[in-house]
Amino acid sequence: MRFEAVNTEDLKKVAECIKNSGKNIIILSGTLGSGKTTLVKKFVETLGINEDVTSPTFAIQNVYSDKVFHYDLYNKGADEFLSLGMLEELEREGWHFIEWGEDLENILKTYGFEVLKIKINVDEDKRIIECQNL
């Protein structure tokens, strides 16, 4: 599915797409500042969770109400993610959002994980967001 977002309220449609996909591992793909963390923030909000959502760039993982797990591989990369045993985290019940996780796609498939990929492209004052089953 493809969505256009000109404001954060438009992200509710993407959040519904994620909820209805039947997948709980979501790889977020996009350039710096494209809105990956903003999408996670809106998703958490749609669940009624009132927590401050921030990028886990330096922490590698943030957890919101034990329902939403947010990872960022920008600084650590897929190899360190795996060496820290984070693959086992993906077996926990809830939604797992992985920023900069493109290098994990084939590994996740090999281990039998079903993945939804959200691709965010910046187009002037809007975002073009694609939900792709892997």
Give the other-Cβ count within 10 Å of 34's Cβ.
18
pLDDT of residue 134 exceeding 70: no
pLDDT tens sequence across 5-20: 999 999 999 999 999 9
pLDDT tens sequence across 59-118: 889 999 999 999 999 988 898 899 988 899 999 999 999 999 999 999 999 999 999 999
The Cα–Cα gap between 70 and 65 comes to 11
pLDDT tens sequence across 79-93: 889 998 889 999 999
